[in-house]
Structure 1
Amino acid sequence: MSNMQPNSFVRSATLIANKTGRITGDIYLDSIIERCVLGFSDLKLPLTLFHDLISLHPLPSTAVFSQLLNSISKLKHLHPHSTIVSLSRRLDFLGVTPNKFSLNIVADSYCHLGRVDFGFSLVGKRIKLGYSPDDFTFNTLINGYINNDEFPQATLLFDRIVKLGFQPDVVTYGAMIKGFCRTGRNTCALNLFKKMQLEGRCKPNLVIYTTIIDSLCKKGIVKEAHDLFNAMRNEGIKPYVDTHISLVRGLYNSGSRDEAKRVLTEMLDSNMAPGVKAYCMLVDMFCKEGEVDVAQATLQRMIDIGVTPNVVAYNALLDGYYLCGRMEDAEKLIGNMTINGCKPDLVSFNTMIYGCIKLENTDKALNIFNAMVQNGITPDVVTYNTLIDGLCKANRLTLARQLFTDLQAHGVTPDVVTYNSLLLGLCKSAESAEAVALLKDMEGNGVNPDVITYSILIHYLCKAEQLEDAAKFFSVLRQKGLQTDCKTYNMMIKGYCKKGLMSEASQLFSRMEEDGCPPNGYSYATIIRGYILNNDLATAFNIFNELVQKGITLDVATYNTLIVGLCKAKRLTCAHQLFTNMQAHGVTPDVVTYNSLLLGLCKSAKSAEALALLEDMEVTGVNPDVITYSILIHYFCKAEQLEDAAKFFSVLQQKGMQPDCKTYTMMIEGYCKIGLMSEAAQLLSKMEEDGFRPNDHNYTTII
C-alpha cells in the first residue's frame, strides 16, 4: 500500500463501491486512515483523497479529516501550511465542525505562515466548542512567536499561562530557553534552566542542554558550556553529534585547542557518526584557525568512513589552502573534487580567484576566470570585484576597465565595492578626470557612494595638493550624514598642514570631537608635526602637554618630529629632556631618534655628548646606520679632525654599509683641506670602484 500511486488507490476504492453497489463506508475510510498512517511523499495523493472524501454523503467524521490534515502537516519539506489552512476553510464552509486536534494543526500552520494572531484566535474558537487549551496549543503559540522573532510576546504568554495555573512541560521550557538564547539572553536561559531543575516536574532533555551549550559557546562563555556538557553526561544524558560539535567549536575559538581536540577525539572514538553538515563545520573551523593539515585529515576521515564530502566541505578546505598560500594543494584538491564526482561551483571558483589575487598572481586568476566561464558557471559581482581590485592593485588598469565593462554587458550590476576598487585604481594612476566621471556614473546608476568612496578621493586630492577639491568632497561626505572616520579627518588635517594652512587644520582638528570622532594618536601626531614644520614650536608643545595630561601616549615618530624641531631651534636641553621623557612613557627611541639628537649635538659642536649618545645607542641595541656615521663624519671633517672622521668611515665600511656619494665627498674635502692629497685621490678611486660616479666638484676639490 505504501507504494500505491494516487490513481491506483482511488481505482481500488471505486472497485469496492462497484462490487457492493455502494461505497462500503467503514472499509473505505479505514483504508484512508491506514494510508495516512503510512504517510505521503507529496501533496498529490492527500489532496485527491480530500476531494474524494468531501464528495461522500454523508460526510465522514471530523476525526478522518483530522487524520488527513495531520499527515499533510508532516510533509514539512513541502511547506504545506497554506494548503492546510485552505483545506480547513473548505471544511468550515461544508459545515464540518473541527475537533481539538484539527484546531491545533491549523493553529500551527498559521504560526508557520507568520500569522500567530490568527493562530491565537483559534483558542477562542476552541473554548466555544468546549475544548480547553492544552500543552500543544500553548507550545504551538509560544514557538510561533519565537520563530517569528516576537519573543517578547512569547514571554508575556508564558508568564500569563503560568499565572493561570498551566504547568509548562519540557517542550514549553525548551521553546522559552531557545527564545532566550536566540536573543542573546543566556543568563535568563540559565535561570529558567535552573528553575526547571528545582521544580522537578520535568527534567531538561538533550535538546535543551544542546541549545544552551551552543548559545554559550557562540558568545565565548566556554567554561560554563563545558561545565553544562559534563553535568549533562553526569545526568545520564548522552550528548549527540551537534552537542559535541558546538563545544568543539567554542573551545577552538576560545583558544583551548588541546581540549577541543580531546572532545573531538572522544566523539569520534565513541562511534558517533557526524553527518556531512557537522564535518563541513569542522573542516571550515580548522581552516579558519590555520590548522589546514587537521582540516585535510578530517576530510579524509569523512571519506574513509563512507560519508561523501559535498562541495561545501571541499570549498572550506580549498579556502584554507589559499589562505596559507598552498597553491599546489589547492589545485590537487580541485582535481580530486572532479574525480570524486563533486563539480566545483561558483564559490569554488571565487575562492580560487581570491587566493590567486591574494598571492598577487593576477594572470592565474584570469585563467581561472576564463575556465569558470568555459565550464558554464556565471561569474557574480563577487568574482568581478575580486578581479578588478586585484588588477588595480597590480597597476593593470586597462584590464580592470575591460572587466568593469564586461560585467555590465553580462547583466551583473556593479555595487559600491566594484566602484570603489576601480576608483582607487584610477586615483593611484592619477586619472583624476576619469575618477570624477566614474563617481558621476556611480550616482547615475543608483549606487550610493559610501565613506570609503569619498575617503579615496580625499586621500588622492590631498596627496596631489588639491585641497580645495578635497575639502569639497569632505563637505559632501558630512552633508550626506556619512560617519566620517579618523582616517579621513587625518588625511584632511595632513593636507592642510603640508600647505601651511594651520588655521584650517586646527579648526578641523577641533571639529573632530564635536562630530563624534575623537582624535586618535595619529591625529595628534599629524597636527603636532604640522606646527613644527611651520615653525610654531609653542603650539606644538601646548598640544603635546595636553596629551600628557590626558594620558595619551604618542608614537616614536611624533617624538622624533618634536626632537627634530627642538634641535633645529637649538633647544638641545629641551630635546634631551623629551628624549628622557619618551622612555619614561614606555616609548623606545629608534635610529631616527638618535640620529636627530646626534645631528643637533654635532651642529652645536658638542662632540663629547655626541660620542656618549652613540655609545648609549649601541648599548641599548639600536644599530647605527649609514646616516648615523655620515653625521659624525661630516662633523669631524668640518672640525678638521680627520683621524676621527676616518675612523668612523672605516667602521661604516667594516659593518658592510655602503657610504653614499655625499659621505665620500665629505671625506675627500676633509683630506684636501689639510693637504692629504694622496688619501683624497685614493678615496676618489674607491668611490668609483663602489659604483659612484664622481662629479665635477669632486675633481675640482682635488685639483
Structure 2
Amino acid sequence: MINLRPLPSVIYFNQLFTAIVKLKRFNPHSTIISLFRQLELYGIKPNMHSVGILANCYCHLGRVDFGFSLLAKRLKLGYSLDSVIFNTLINGYVHCDKLPQAASLLNKIIKLNYGIKPDVVTYNSLVRGLYNSGSGDEAQRVLTEMLESNIAPNVKTYSMLVDMFCKDGCVDQAQSLIKHMTERGVPPNIITYSALLDGYCLRGQMEDAENLLHLMAENGCEPNLHDLPEIIGFMQQTTNVLYGIKPNMHSVGILANCYCHLGRVDFGFSLLAKRLKLGFPLDRVIFNTLINGLQPDVKTYNIMVKGFCKKGLMSEVAQVLRIMEEDGCPPNDRTYNTIIRGFILGNDLSNALYYRDIMVGKGFKADAATFSLFVGLLSSENLSDSKKDLLQKFIS
C-alpha cells in the first residue's frame, strides 16, 4: 500500500490494522505499533481512530502508561477526548489485573466532569475484571451503579454475572438475575444459558438442567458443541460409583440430549437400556430427544420397535406407536409384523392377534417371516390346544 501513488488515506490503514488486531493468536500489537511509526515516516498522519488503535495495542502489551501519553497526542491533533479512549485505558488496567486503577480512573472521569459519560462498555470492562478475580459482591455493586446511572446493562453484562454466581454455587441468584434481565427486555443468549446449565450440573440439579436444555431448544439456543463434551464428562464423573452418586432419569436424559447434539445418537440409544436398568420407565421426553437427533421417518421408528421387541419391552412398543401416530408418521406393514412377532416370541398370542386385526384393518398383510412363525408354532408339541386354536384364527 505504501508503494501506491498517491498514498492511500489513513482510513484504509486503520481498517487494515483493525482487522490485524483481531488475529489475537498472532500477538500482533507490537507489529501494529511499528507499522504506525513507519506510516508517520511516510507522511501519513494518524487520526483519532489511529490513536485509539495504538492505545489499545499499548494496553494489551501492559503499557497503559504509553496509552495515557496518547491522550496528549490526540489533543495535539485537534481531537477532543471521548468515552472510547477512556474505555480503552480502563480496559487496559483490567487486562493487567489492576482493578483499583481502573476504578480510580472511572471515578476521576465522573468527578472531573469532562463531559464524558461512562457507558455500558465502560462498566462491562469493570464487571469482566471483577468476574476474573471472583469478586461477586463488587460485581453486583457495579450492576446496581449502572442501573442507578440509567445505563442499561446488555446481555454481555448479565452473562458474566450469571456465570460468576453459578461458579460460586449461587444458582438461585443467577436464576433471579436471568428473571431480572428478561423483565428488562434483555433476552438470555447461549452464553447465559450455558452458564446456568453448568451451575445446575455443579449443584446436581439434573431435573432443572434437563428442563433448561428443552427451554434452550424452544428459544433457538442450542448448546454449544464445544460445551457438550464438558457437560458429558461432568455428568459421567458425577454419576460414577466412586463418587457414591447414582444417576437418575434426568441425568440420563441430559446425557442422551448431549450425545444427540454431538451426532452420536447411537450412544443416546444405549442409554435406554441404562434407564430401564435403573428402574425408570421410558417416556415421551427420552423418545423425543432421540427422535430429534435422528430426524425420523417410519424406517427410524421401525428400528426402535424392532429393538424393543428384541428385548421383550412390549409396553414401550405401544408408546412408540402412540408417538408415531401423534407425529403424523403412521406405522406400516413392517411395523405391525415386527410387533406381532414380538408378542408371539413373548408367548402373548392374544396381543399378537389384537395387532393382527389392526394390521388387516389398515389393509396390510402378514409377511413371510410372521406367517412361517405361526406355522412353526402350530406344529409345536409344547403348545396347548387353546393356543393352537388362536393361531388357526390367524392363518385362516
TM-score class normalised by the smaller sequence: 0.5 to 0.7
1:174 aligns with 2:124: yes
Task: Name structure 2 gaps, 5 residues minimum.
Answer: 240-246, 268-396
Q: Which residue of 2 aligns with 1:243?
A: 192
1:110 aligns with 2:58: yes
Q: 1:293 to 1:135 in 2, by over 3 A?
A: same
Question: 1:58 Cα deviation (Å)?
Answer: 4.9
Question: 1:101 Cα deviation (Å)?
Answer: 0.5
Amino acid at match of 2:124: G
1:229 aligns with 2:178: yes
Structure 1, residues 499-528: CA drift from partner, whole Å, max 9, x if none? Answer: xxxxxxxxxxxxxxxxxxxxxxxxxxxxxx
State the alpha-carbon separation in 1 of the partners of residues 236 and 139 from structure 2. 32
Q: Which residue of 2 aligns with 1:190?
A: 140
One of 227, 231, 235 as aligned partner of 1:282 = 231
Q: 1:67 to 1:248 in 2, by over 3 A?
A: closer
Question: 1:275 Cα deviation (Å)?
Answer: 2.0
Amino acid at match of 1:124: A
State the alpha-carbon separation in 2 of the partners of residues 301 and 57 from structure 1. 58
State the alpha-carbon separation in 2 of the partners of residues 89 and 206 from structure 1. 38
Aligned residues of 2:48 and 2:79 also touching (Cα < 8 A): yes
One of 28, 48, 51 as aligned partner of 1:100 = 48
Q: Which residue of 2 aligns with 1:206?
A: 155
1:215 aligns with 2:174: no
Aligned residues of 1:104 and 1:137 also touching (Cα < 8 A): yes
Percent identity, aligned pairs only, is 38
Alignment of 1:357-372 (within 5 A): none
Larger radius of gyration: 1
Amino acid at match of 2:21: S
1:254 aligns with 2:190: no
Question: 1:209 Cα deviation (Å)?
Answer: 0.4
Alignment of 1:568-579 (within 5 A): none
Question: 1:244 Cα deviation (Å)?
Answer: 1.1
Alignment of 1:218-617 (within 5 A): 218-290=167-239, 291=247, 293-294=252-253, 296-304=255-263
Question: 1:77 Cα deviation (Å)?
Answer: 4.4
Alignment of 1:26-37 (within 5 A): none
Aligned residues of 2:87 and 2:121 also touching (Cα < 8 A): yes
1:155 aligns with 2:131: no
Aligned length: 255
Q: TM-score, normalised by structure 2?
A: 0.59
Question: 1:236 Cα deviation (Å)?
Answer: 2.3
Aligned residues of 1:213 and 1:243 also touching (Cα < 8 A): yes
Task: Name structure 1 gaps, 5 residues minimum.
Answer: 1-52, 310-703
Q: 1:132 to 1:305 in 2, by over 3 A?
A: farther
One of 125, 144, 150 as aligned partner of 2:92 = 144
Q: 1:194 to 1:158 in 2, by over 3 A?
A: same
Structure 1, residues 205-229: CA drift from partner, whole Å, max 9, x if none? Answer: 1000000010011111221111001
Question: 1:234 Cα deviation (Å)?
Answer: 1.8
Question: 1:57 Cα deviation (Å)?
Answer: 4.9
State the alpha-carbon separation in 2 of the partners of residues 254 and 89 from structure 1. 54
Amino acid at match of 1:171: V
Amino acid at match of 2:110: V
State the alpha-carbon separation in 2 of the partners of residues 304 and 237 from structure 1. 32
Q: TM-score, normalised by structure 1?
A: 0.34
Aligned residues of 1:209 and 1:228 also touching (Cα < 8 A): yes
Q: Which residue of 1 aligns with 2:28?
A: 80
Amino acid at match of 1:157: L
Structure 1, residues 4-28: CA drift from partner, whole Å, max 9, x if none? Answer: xxxxxxxxxxxxxxxxxxxxxxxxx
1:65 aligns with 2:13: yes
State the alpha-carbon separation in 2 of the partners of residues 238 and 158 from structure 1. 28
Higher RCO (Cα < 8 Å, 6 or more apart): 2
Question: 1:173 Cα deviation (Å)?
Answer: 1.1
State the alpha-carbon separation in 1 of the partners of residues 264 and 183 from structure 2. 30
Question: 1:61 Cα deviation (Å)?
Answer: 3.3
State the alpha-carbon separation in 1 of the partners of residues 103 and 257 from structure 2. 42
Question: 1:63 Cα deviation (Å)?
Answer: 2.8
State the alpha-carbon separation in 1 of the partners of residues 32 and 6 from structure 2. 22
Aligned residues of 1:282 and 1:298 also touching (Cα < 8 A): no
Q: 1:136 to 1:256 in 2, by over 3 A?
A: same
Aligned residues of 1:286 and 1:294 also touching (Cα < 8 A): no
Question: 1:82 Cα deviation (Å)?
Answer: 2.1
State the alpha-carbon separation in 1 of the partners of residues 206 and 8 from structure 2. 63
Aligned residues of 2:235 and 2:255 also touching (Cα < 8 A): no
Aligned residues of 1:222 and 1:250 also touching (Cα < 8 A): yes
Question: 1:176 Cα deviation (Å)?
Answer: 0.9
State the alpha-carbon separation in 2 of the partners of residues 275 and 137 from structure 1. 34
State the alpha-carbon separation in 1 of the partners of residues 10 and 254 from structure 2. 56
Amino acid at match of 1:92: E
Structure 1, residues 91-129: CA drift from partner, whole Å, max 9, x if none? Answer: 123332211001111111122222222222211211222
SS in 2 for 1:97: coil
One of 119, 123, 127 as aligned partner of 2:71 = 123
Structure 1, residues 622-645: CA drift from partner, whole Å, max 9, x if none? Answer: xxxxxxxxxxxxxxxxxxxxxxxx
Q: 1:273 to 1:251 in 2, by over 3 A?
A: closer
Amino acid at match of 2:50: S
State the alpha-carbon separation in 2 of the partners of residues 295 and 261 from structure 1. 6
SS in 1 for 2:30: helix
SS in 1 for 2:226: helix
